C-alpha cells in the first residue's frame, strides 16, 4: 500500500464511524425510540434540530438571543457584564495583563481554609459554600497580536519588540471581587496574589521526560490555550501552538530557536494560584502535543484521570491515569505531585478502547522508524515528547480537531468538542460523548455517540470550549475562524457566540444562543463561581484581522476609535435557585 | 512516515486552514487580504474538478491563476507565502511553485 493509499484509508476512519453512529441513531429515532431510551448513550440527541428557531422544552434560564454581527457583547435581557481586565492592564506592580485571554479558573479566597469538593467537576472542584464574591482568577494568554502590541508590520524584530511579546503570553493571576453594587472588579492592590507568569519565568519539568533537551529547568510558558482545575486547588494551563514561536519572522514570531525550539513547550503546566513564590511545573507524564485543555475526574477509588485533546485536525483524544490516588484531600502538598507520574492513553474510537502509549510494552513503538529508517523513539521520554506520532503508530483514531473536553457532573460521561475539519468536508463540527465502561474513569474501554452536530440546522458552528452547570446543562462557545465568521456558509450564525444545551429530555442537543461576541472575537474559558451566579469568560482577539492601526475592524471594549483589546469579563444575572 | 498519514493538511482546504491559523497569529494584518485570495484560489481549483490534494497543484495552474487575478501583485504575494509555508511543512515536495512565484 502506498503512503497515499494508506492515508486515504485512514482518512475515512473517523467519518465512517460518525456515519455509522448517525445512521444508527436515525433508525432508532424513527422505529424504536423505546429501545433507544435504554441505551447508555442517548443517540437520539444526534438528530439534527429542525430548521428555524428551536422550541424549548420547559423554562430556560434565559431568553435566547438572535445571531448578531454587532461589535459588542450581546446578552439576553436581564444579564450584564463587567470588564475585569484587558490586554496591557496594569497588574499593580508594573507588569501587564497579557494578550488574548483564554482559559479562566476561579479560586475562592477561602478555598484553602474550607477545602474542595472532588465531585464538583463543573465548578472546578469548588464547594458550593465557598466565596462567590472574592477570589483569584487564573487567566491564560494564548498568543498576541504583534501589530496591536508594538506596531509590528513585517520585517526584522527588535529585542524590545520580542521582550514585549514574551510578556504577553503565559498566565495572569488576578484578585477579583464583587462589590456591594453587584459589580465585579480587579483589585490591583493585592500585591500578595496578583502575578504574571510569562515566557521567561523559570519553570520546572517533572516526570519521565524532565531531562529532555537540557531540562528540567525551562524558560517560561507560551501558547497557553485552555486548561483545567484540579481537586487540590491548583490550575492547569495547556500549551498549544508552540511551533509558531521559534520560526523565523515574519512567518513565525522569530524568538530564539535555541531556547524556544527545544521540546520544553507543548506540555501541561500546573500553577498554585495561592502561592506567588511557587514554581510552576510542566508535567511530562501527560504527554506533549498541541494541548487544548485538560478535564480531571476522580474515580470512586480515588483514581485521578485527565482527559485531553490535541487541537489539530486529524489528531487524537488522550487520557492520563495517574499512578497515585487521591485519598487525602487535606494533603495538598502531596496531591500536587499526583500528575507527575502515570499512564498515557489515546482513544481508538473504532474499537472503543484506550491504547497505552508505553515504550516498554508496545513493540510497535520500539519498531517505528521515520522515512529514512531511523527509530522514531528511543525511550518513554521520546514517546511522551511526541505523543501524537506515538498515538498514530499505535493506530489511535485521528478525529476532527479535538478541542475542549469536559466531564458531565451528574453521570460522569465525557463530552468532546470536535471543532471542524475542512479537509474532510466537516465544516461545522460536532460534539461527541464518551461513556467509560462501568462508569470507571480508569477503564480500558468506552462507548461513544454523537451529542450535537453543527450547521445551519442546529444554529451553531465549530464548537470549542465547554462548561457544565450544576443541573447538567452544557454551555458551549464557538470558534469559527476570523476569516470566515459571518461569511458564506457561516453567515447563519453571525459572530461567534455562546450556546446552551440540555443534555437530557426531549430537547437534549438543541442549541439556544446565550451570547454573541464582538467582531472577529472568539469567546473562551467559561467558568462558574461556586454559587452559579457569575460566569467568567474571556473575549479573545476582537478585530483580529484589522489591516492596520488606522483600519480597525473592532473597537471592543472601549469603543470610539480605540484599538481593540482582548480581555476577561464577569457575566451576572443568572436566576437564583429556589 | 507518520506525518505522511496526516490527511487534513495535505488537502488544499486543510492546508489553507492551517496556514490561515499560522498567519492570523503571526501576521494578522495580512490575514484578510491573503485569505480572500487563497479562498478564491482553492475554490477555483476545486470547481475545475481537480483533486483536493495540495501536492497535485501544478505550476502552470498557479501561473494562470495569478495572470487572471485583479491584483496580480497581491495574488503572487499571498500564494508565495502559502507555498513557502507548505514547503516548510513538507506538504509540497519541491520549490517548483515558489520558482513560479519569484
| Shortest CA gap A414–chain B (Å) | 25
Task: Say whether B6 and A544 touch across the interface (CB within 8 A).
Answer: no
pLDDT digits over A411-422, tens only? 999 999 999 888
CB of A224 closer than 8 Å to CB of A239:
yes
pLDDT digits over B61-98, tens only? 999 999 999 999 999 999 999 998 898 888 888 755 66
pLDDT-derived band at A40, boundaries 50, 70, 90:
very low
Task: Say whether A545 and B32 touch across the interface (CB within 8 A).
Answer: yes
Quick one: closest CA in B to A154, which residue?
B27
pLDDT of residue B97: 62
CB of A315 closer than 8 Å to CB of A402:
yes
pLDDT digits over A379-421, tens only? 999 999 999 999 999 999 999 999 999 999 999 999 999 998 8
pLDDT of residue A28: 42
Q: Which residues, in sequence order, are CB contacts of B43 under 8 Å at separation 6+?
A: none
Quick one: closest CA in A to B85, which residue?
A251
Indicate the burial class of A189 (C-beta count within 10 angstroms; 0-12, 13-18, 19 or more). Answer: exposed
pLDDT at A98 over 60: yes
* Set of cell numbers at residue A27: 433508525
* Measured distance CA(A94)–CA(A87) in Å, rounded: 14
CA distances from A56 to A33, A213, A505 (A): 20, 55, 11
* Measured distance CA(A356)–CA(A390) in Å, rounded: 10
pLDDT of residue A51: 45
pLDDT of residue A313: 87
CA distances from B100 to B46, B59, B84, B89 (A): 21, 6, 12, 19
Picking from B11, B18, B26, B85 by the largest number of A CB atoms within 10 A of its own CB, the best residue to mutate is B26
pLDDT of residue B9: 78
| Shortest CA gap B63–chain A (Å) | 23
Chain B contact set for A421 (CB, 8 A): 8, 14
Closest CA to A148 of A479, A521, A566, A569: A566
Q: Which residue from A251, A370, A423 is facing B1, i.e. has the nearest CB?
A: A370
CB of A288 closer than 8 Å to CB of A263:
yes
pLDDT of residue A25: 55
Task: Say whether A545 and B24 touch across the interface (CB within 8 A).
Answer: yes
Picking from A260, A372, A422 by the largest number of B CB atoms within 10 A of its own CB, the best residue to mutate is A422
* Type and span of the H or E element at A128: none
* Measured distance CA(A98)–CA(A101) in Å, rounded: 7
| Shortest CA gap A77–chain B (Å) | 34
Quick one: closest CA in B to A13, which residue?
B7
Picking from B3, B10, B17 by the largest number of A CB atoms within 10 A of its own CB, the best residue to mutate is B17
pLDDT-derived band at A249, boundaries 50, 70, 90:
confident
* Measured distance CA(A46)–CA(A43) in Å, rounded: 6
pLDDT at A207 over 90: yes
Closest CA to A297 of A401, A208, A415: A415
Q: What single DSSP character describes residue A508?
A: B
Q: Strands of A518-560 (E only): list them.
A: 522-528, 534-540
pLDDT-derived band at A7, boundaries 50, 70, 90:
low
pLDDT-derived band at B55, boundaries 50, 70, 90:
confident
Q: Which residue from B1, B10, B17 is facing A422, i.e. has the nearest CB?
A: B17
Indicate the burial class of B2 (C-beta count within 10 angstroms; 0-12, 13-18, 19 or more). Answer: middle
Indicate the burial class of B53 (C-beta count within 10 angstroms; 0-12, 13-18, 19 or more). Answer: middle
* Measured distance CA(A138)–CA(A123) in Å, rounded: 14
CB contact B1 to A (< 8 Å): yes
Say which residue the cell 492546508 belongs to: B15
* Measured distance CA(B65)–CA(A424) in Å, rounded: 24
Task: Say whether A314 and B6 touch across the interface (CB within 8 A).
Answer: yes
Chain B contact set for A398 (CB, 8 A): 6-7
Above pLDDT 90, what percent of chain B? 52
Q: Does the predicted TM-score (pTM) go above 0.90?
A: yes
Q: Which residues of A111-129 are buried (b: 16+ CB within 10 A; e: fewer)?
A: beeebbbbebbbbbbbeee
pLDDT at A178 over 70: yes
A127: alpha, beta or left? (left if phi > 0; alpha if psi -120 to 50):
beta
Closest CA to A229 of A199, A272, A267: A272
- β-partners of residue A197 are A171
pLDDT of residue A47: 39
- Backbone dihedral angles phi then psi of residue A104, each to the nearest 5 degrees: -130, 150
pLDDT digits over A276-302, tens only? 999 999 999 999 999 999 999 999 999
pLDDT at A9 over 90: no
pLDDT digits over A423-435, tens only? 778 899 999 999 9
pLDDT-derived band at A24, boundaries 50, 70, 90:
low
* Measured distance CA(B32)–CA(A87) in Å, rounded: 23
Chain B contact set for A9 (CB, 8 A): none
pLDDT of residue A27: 45
pLDDT of residue A480: 95
ipTM reported for the complex surpasses 0.90: no
Contact residues, chain A to chain B, C-beta under 8 Å: 3, 6-8, 10-11, 143, 145-147, 153-154, 241, 244, 247, 249-253, 312-314, 368-371, 376, 389, 392-393, 398, 421-424, 481-483, 541, 544-548
pLDDT of residue B11: 87
End-to-end CA distance of chain A: 64
pLDDT of residue A110: 98
* Set of cell numbers at residue A70: 454587532
pLDDT of residue A236: 98
Picking from A423, A487, A564 by the largest number of B CB atoms within 10 A of its own CB, the best residue to mutate is A423
pLDDT digits over B20-36, tens only? 999 999 999 999 999 99
pLDDT-derived band at A48, boundaries 50, 70, 90:
very low
Count Cα atoms within 13 angstroms, Cβ side, for A334.
Answer: 9
Task: Say whether A421 and B14 touch across the interface (CB within 8 A).
Answer: yes
Quick one: closest CA in A to B20, which residue?
A483
Q: Which residues, in sequence order, are CB contacts of A348 under 8 Å at separation 6+?
A: A354, A355, A395, A396, A397
Mean pLDDT along residues A98-113 = 98
Closest CA to A307 of A289, A320, A324: A320
Closest CA to A437 of A448, A452, A423, A428: A448
Chain B contact set for A146 (CB, 8 A): 26-28
Task: Say whether B1 and A547 touch across the interface (CB within 8 A).
Answer: no
Low-confidence winner among A336-345, A347-356, B78-87 (lowest mean pLDDT): B78-87
pLDDT digits over A546-560, tens only? 999 999 999 999 999
pLDDT of residue A144: 97
Above pLDDT 90, what percent of chain A? 85
CB of A284 closer than 8 Å to CB of A385:
yes
Closest CA to A378 of A362, A394, A365: A365
Q: Which residues, in sequence order, are CB contacts of A41 under 8 Å at separation 6+?
A: A413, A433, A435, A447, A448, A449
Mean pLDDT along residues A525-536 = 97
Quick one: closest CA in A to B2, which residue?
A389
Task: Say whether B81 and A251 touch across the interface (CB within 8 A).
Answer: yes
Which carries the bigger pLDDT value, residue B94 or residue A221? Answer: A221
Quick one: closest CA in A to B55, which residue?
A4
Quick one: closest CA in B to A371, which residue?
B1
Q: Which residues, in sequence order, are CB contacts of A131 under 8 Å at separation 6+?
A: A108, A109, A110, A530
* Measured distance CA(B81)–CA(A155) in Å, rounded: 14
pLDDT digits over A54-90, tens only? 666 778 999 999 999 999 999 999 999 999 999 999 9
End-to-end CA distance of chain B: 31
Quick one: closest CA in B to A14, which residue?
B7
pLDDT of residue B23: 93
* Set of cell numbers at residue A386: 511526541
pLDDT of residue A52: 52
* Measured distance CA(A319)–CA(A334) in Å, rounded: 22
Q: Which residue from B6, B20, B29 is facing A483, i.e. has the nearest CB?
A: B20
pLDDT of residue A532: 96
Task: Give counts: helices (H), strands (E), chain A.
Answer: 10, 30
pLDDT-derived band at A36, boundaries 50, 70, 90:
very low
pLDDT at A562 over 60: yes
Q: How many other C-beta atoms are found inside a 10 Å radius of the C-beta of residue B26? A: 22
- Output the average pLDDT for chain A: 92
pLDDT of residue B100: 62
Q: Are strands A195-197 and A342-348 parallel, antiparallel or unpaired?
A: unpaired
Which carries the bigger pLDDT value, residue B102 or residue A242? Answer: A242
Residues 54-73 of chain B whose Cβ lies under 8 A from any Cβ of chain A: none
- Strand order of the sheet with strand A353-356? A291-298, A304-310, A317-322, A342-348, A353-356
pLDDT-derived band at B60, boundaries 50, 70, 90:
confident
* Set of cell numbers at residue A526: 467559561
Chain B contact set for A346 (CB, 8 A): none
pLDDT of residue B90: 83
Closest CA to A461 of A511, A504, A415, A424: A511
Amino acid at each position: 500500500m502506498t503512503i497515499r493509499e494508506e492515508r486515504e484509508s485512514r482518512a475515512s476512519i473517523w467519518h465512517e464511524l460518525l456515519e455509522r453512529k448517525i445512521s444508527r441513531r436515525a433508525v432508532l429515532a424513527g422505529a424504536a425510540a423505546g429501545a433507544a431510551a435504554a441505551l447508555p448513550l442517548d443517540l437520539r440527541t444526534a438528530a439534527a434540530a429542525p430548521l428555524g428557531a428551536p422550541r424549548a422544552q420547559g423554562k430556560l434560564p434565559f431568553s435566547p438571543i438572535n445571531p448578531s454581527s454587532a461589535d459588542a457583547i450581546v446578552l439576553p435581557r436581564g444579564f450584564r457584564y463587567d470588564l475585569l481586565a484587558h490586554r496591557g492592564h496594569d497588574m499593580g506592580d508594573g507588569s501587564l495583563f497579557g494578550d488574548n485571554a483564554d482559559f479562566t479558573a476561579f479560586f475562592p479566597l477561602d478555598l484553602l481554609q474550607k477545602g474542595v469538593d472532588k465531585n464538583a467537576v463543573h465548578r472546578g472542584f469548588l464547594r458550593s459554600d465557598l466565596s462567590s464574591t472574592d477570589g483569584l482568577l487564573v487567566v491564560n494568554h494564548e498568543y498576541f497580536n504583534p501589530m496591536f502590541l508594538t506596531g509590528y508590520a513585517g520585517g526584522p524584530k527588535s529585542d524590545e519588540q520580542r521582550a514585549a511579546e514574551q510578556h504577553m503570553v503565559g498566565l495572569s493571576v488576578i484578585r477579583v471581587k464583587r462589590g456591594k453594587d453587584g459589580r465585579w472588579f480587579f483589585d490591583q492592590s493585592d500585591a500578595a496574589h496578583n502575578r504574571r507568569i510569562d515566557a521567561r519565568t523559570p519553570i520546572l519539568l517533572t516526570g519521565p521526560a524532565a531531562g529532555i533537551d537540557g531540562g528540567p529547568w525551562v524558560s517560561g510558558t507560551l501558547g497557553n490555550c485552555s486548561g483545567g482545575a484540579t481537586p487540590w486547588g491548583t490550575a492547569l494551563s495547556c500549551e498549544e501552538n508552540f511551533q509558531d514561536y521559534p520560526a523565523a519572522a515574519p512567518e513565525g514570531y522569530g524568538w530564539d530557536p535555541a531556547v524556544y525550539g527545544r521540546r520544553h513547550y507543548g506540555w501541561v503546566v500546573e500553577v498554585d494560584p495561592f502561592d506567588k513564590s511557587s514554581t510552576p511545573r510542566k508535567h511530562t507524564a501527560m504527554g506533549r502535543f498541541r494541548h487544548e485543555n485538560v478535564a480531571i475526574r476522580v474515580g470512586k477509588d480515588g483514581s485521578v484521570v485527565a482527559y485531553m485533546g490535541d487541537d489539530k485536525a486529524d489528531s487524537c483524544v488522550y487520557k492520563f491515569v495517574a499512578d497515585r490516588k487521591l485519598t487525602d484531600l487535606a494533603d495538598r502538598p502531596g496531591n500536587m505531585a499526583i500528575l507527575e507520574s502515570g499512564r498515557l492513553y489515546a482513544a481508538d474510537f473504532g474499537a472503543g478502547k484506550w491504547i497505552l502509549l508505553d515504550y516498554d510494552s508496545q513493540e510497535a513503538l520500539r519498531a517505528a522508524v521515520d522515512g529514512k529508517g531511523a527509530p522514531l523513539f528511543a525511550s518513554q521520554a521520546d514517546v511522551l515528547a511526541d505523543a501524537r506520532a506515538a498515538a498514530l503508530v499505535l493506530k489511535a483514531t485521528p478525529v476532527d480537531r479535538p478541542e475542549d473536553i469536559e466531564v458531565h457532573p451528574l453521570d460522569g460521561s465525557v463530552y468532546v468538542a470536535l471543532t471542524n475539519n475542512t479537509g474532510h468536508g466537516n465544516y461545522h463540527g460536532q460534539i461527541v460523548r464518551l461513556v467509560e465502561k462501568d462508569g470507571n474513569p480508569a477503564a480500558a474501554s468506552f462507548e461513544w455517540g454523537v451529542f450535537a452536530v453543527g450547521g445551519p440546522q442546529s444554529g451553531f458552528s465549530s464548537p470549542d470550549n465547554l462548561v457544565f452547570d450544576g443541573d447538567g446543562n452544557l454551555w458551549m462557545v464557538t470558534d469559527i475562524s476570523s476569516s470566515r465568521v459571518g461569511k458564506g456558509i457561516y453567515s447563519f450564525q453571525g459572530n461567534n457566540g455562546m450556546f446552551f444545551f440540555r443534555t437530557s429530555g426531549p430537547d437534549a442537543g438543541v442549541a439556544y444562543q446565550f451570547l454573541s461576541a464582538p467582531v472577529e472575537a472568539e469567546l473562551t474559558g467559561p467558568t462558574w463561581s461556586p454559587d452559579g451566579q457569575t460566569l467568567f469568560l474571556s473575549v479573545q482577539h476582537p478585530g483580529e484581522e484589522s489591516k492596520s492601526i488606522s483600519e480597525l475592524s473592532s473597537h471592543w471594549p472601549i469603543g470610539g476609535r480605540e484599538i481593540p483589546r482582548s480581555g476577561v469579563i464577569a457575566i451576572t444575572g443568572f436566576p437564583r435557585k429556589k | 512516515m507518520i506525518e505522511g498519514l496526516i490527511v487534513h493538511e495535505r488537502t488544499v482546504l486543510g492546508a489553507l486552514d492551517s496556514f490561515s491559523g499560522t498567519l492570523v497569529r503571526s501576521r494578522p494584518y495580512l490575514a484578510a487580504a491573503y485569505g480572500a485570495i487563497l479562498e478564491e484560489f482553492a475554490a477555483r481549483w476545486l470547481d475545475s474538478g481537480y483533486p483536493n490534494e495540495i501536492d497535485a497543484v501544478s505550476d502552470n495552474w498557479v501561473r494562470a491563476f495569478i495572470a487572471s487575478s485583479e491584483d496580480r501583485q497581491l495574488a503572487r504575494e499571498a500564494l508565495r507565502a502559502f507555498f513557502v509555508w507548505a514547503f516548510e511543512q513538507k506538504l509540497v515536495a519541491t520549490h517548483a511553485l515558489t520558482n513560479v512565484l519569484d
